[in-house]
Structure 1
Amino acid sequence: MQELLSKPIFSIGENFDVTLSQLLLAILFVIIAALLSHYVAKLITKKVLAKFKLAEDNLVIFKRLIFFVFLGIITVTTLSFFNIPLTAFAFISGAVAIGAGFGAKTVMDNFISGWILMSERPLRINDIIEFEDHLGRVIEVGNRSTMIRRIDGAHMVVPNSSLLQANLINWTLVDPNIRTSVRVGVEYGSDVSKVKEILEKVMKEHESVIDDPEPMVIFEDFADSSLLFELWFWAKVGAVRELRTIRSDIRFKINKEFQEAGIVIAFPQRDLHFKFAEGKGFPVTLSHPGDSSNKDGD
């Protein structure tokens, strides 16, 4: 066994032979270096960089840079310790390059796209985004893919290259404020000035509705069965589901205020008009639920 491990498996130039034991030890130490680099990067990020109160996506960038720097330093040091020149792995690099060219194109695309996403920052961790009709929060931007938690709780794993090439809507790219609206219809004959006053009061009293830009009440339309109003307002949103909660709170408050003010929220209504020709008629049957008897009339 010892003879097998000490037997040269290939030569580098004319003066250096690489044995199987040297190659195996080098690969083992590279693996250990990767694990150690990951631990050191995580430790430095949590214990040192976290004190500077950096954004979470910036911490991820620094963690990756620290990982690759330490990995490179430890790998080169290990190879030098075993007197193995870097050219010993030239054949491995060539094989990896050929494999990447034929079978790992997508992986490399996603890897590079991940770094572009983290550097250009069209999206960041905790951003609320809309991707292919899915609304959710960015949980993690990895080397190959990005994880998005949808509003229904499901997690989407999206390749980085897809995000980079797609038409992406980032609701919180500049700030956490999002504009939304609530519609309500009141019956015809209602005091529209009073309705506007109540709606403005409801928006002003909600703690998540911001004053700048100022909330607006729009008299939208004379609809079929109602006078239609729409509330436009900006809200500071910390989570995707908070937007739905804010709209729900607004509706609860509107319903309560309208009931106290005697304003009726409209519902579909239809007026039926019957016209009879002179001297003609038709039988009409009147019935009441639960009454088995019917009365006929002309």
Structure 2
Amino acid sequence: MPESQYSVKLGEIIREFELEVLCTAPDYENVPLRTVDVNRPGLPLAGFFEHFDTKRLLLMGLTEHTFVAGMSSARRRESFDHLLSYPVPGLIITRGLEPFPECLEMAEKHGRTILRTEAHTSAFMSALIGSLFNRLAPCITRSGVMMEIYGEGVLFQGESGVGKSEVAIELIKRGHRIIADDAVEIRQTNHGALEATAPELIRHYMELRGIGVIDVRRLFGMGAIKDKQQIDLVINLEPWDDHAVYDRLGLDSVQTEILGIKVPAITIPVKPGRNLASIVEVAAMNNRNRKMGHNAALELTQRMDQHFEKIKENEGEK
């Protein structure tokens, strides 16, 4: 996989997976990781270093441990000396296995980081790659409001002053949760979905014209916030235009593309007197209903077609 333009510090991975630190390189916590791939160093330990990517984390499981255990002490020292002479960001030993003294000796010699986890190799490798993918995935920032409504991730977009934050406040009072206000960070996950979160600096804060900045967590409690959420629906809020033609049936499936991924999108016109919070709630429920295979607009159209077919048949019989 190509190297990402983003990076994650090794210290963040150590804290996320609660890795035990056995040996450290200088400033090891700030070592940048820029690739989601990891290396199982069986072939390098056997002396084969063709296509050996030194930017990847090394993962040593039971297979590699058993292979190295069959070597003489001098051979092990030589293998680890050769392996750790390369500037690898770290070597992680899985299953709580004991590190070989020769491994720790060569790590000290070359200034490499050795870590350990109790997790089984395959499960840990899968979780590590997933975490690296999410952290290194392309990320963009969009203006808008992100909320979770009946389990659906809804991103509100629209020009400044259209009422996005006001709708969000009403939805929060109804028990729904906010992820981000004003600026929404969006990244692609390893499952091919879009995940939204708020920039760390403004997380849990909202701006309401006439009132100013409020802290949602303090005013409404922990139940009103959420750190991240998958985007399931994009709602575009726009001022009502008497000359515009708005979709009244919902037969056309409109999608918007974000980071190469298509997401269902609808446009809701805003004007005084419309209960936008209720409309948004229905939109979220309807989107969920469609994902389950139910399309009310299509069902109604089919009913009407059947009704008119029967009328035609009856007239033909006369």
Q: Which structure ranks higher in relative contact order (CA pairs < 8 Å, sequence separation ≥ 6)? A: 2
TM-score (norm 2): 0.23
Structure holding more strand per residue: 2
